[in-house]
Amino acid sequence: MDENSVVFKGSVNGLTIILRQEDDFQAIIRQVESKIQSAGRFFKDATLAIKYRGRKLSREEEQQLLKMITEKGGAKVKSFEEDTEEPVKIEKSPEASASKPKFRMRSYFFKGIEEGVAKFHRGTVRSGQSIDFDGNLVVIGDVNPGGQVVATGNVIVMGALRGIVHAGADGNKEAVIVAFNLQPTQLRIADVITRPPDEKEPKGQPVPEIAYVKEDIVYIERYLPQK
């Protein structure tokens, strides 16, 4: 059984487990256990809302899977249910299409860090330079003031992000922005825009931060491993 037969997809709302429909349940259980072990401290004492989709499970199989996650991972599961939500279609307006002709707008929201293709850009994005991609975008370097990164998926900057950043450019408010040093001149997720205050407070040692949207407000939090 290959490792792609079970996929864990995390988000700010919880965890979705994607099960391949044709696989045997006992093989799925073994694969879930293997992924929990490899995830290390991610599950330990975490409180999660968990959904699964793909393969249909009986009530007994649901209970067995839930028991595996709580006992082997040490997580506190506040809810466990089948994901029955249909993908949400994006309505394209002529105005939006005209303003962003370079993007191939998708029929459905781009969801999750593990879903879809990713582009890796190595080097600094300098002033006047723009990097656009239809999917996840990872910058191995800095984004300088005046530089711009735009992606329909998530944006990860393995350096200082001081320019303009736009994640979820196709309308996906579940997209996130992560940077080792997050100080953008403008930050946008889908159609929700924020910018830093004019008078910045002095910052100490930079720490990784994550930006996400909740109830049409951009929140920025430290993104550090749980101890």
Mean pLDDT of 44-60: 83
pLDDT confidence of residue 45: 67
pLDDT confidence of residue 140: 95
pLDDT confidence of residue 39: 59
Predicted TM-score of the model (pTM): 0.51
pLDDT confidence of residue 189: 92
Residue 113, pLDDT > 70, answer no
Amino acid at 213: V
Mean per-residue pLDDT of the chain = 78
The structure tokens 């700010």 sit at 12
Number of Cβ within 10 Å of residue 59's Cβ equals 7
Mean pLDDT of 148-162: 94
The domains located in the chain, with CATH, are 3-82 (3.30.750.50), 94-222 (2.160.20.70)
Element (H, E) at 31: helix 25-38
Number of Cβ within 10 Å of residue 4's Cβ equals 9
Query: What's the DSSP call for residue 29?
Result: H
pLDDT confidence of residue 102: 43
Confidence band for 116, pLDDT divided at 50, 70 and 90: low
Rounded-to-integer distance, Cα 158 and Cα 81, Å = 35
- Tell me which of 31-40, 87-96, 128-137 is least confident: 87-96
pLDDT confidence of residue 54: 87
Residue 120, pLDDT > 90, answer yes
Looking at the chain, the whole-number percentage of residues with pLDDT higher than 90 is 29
pLDDT confidence of residue 199: 44
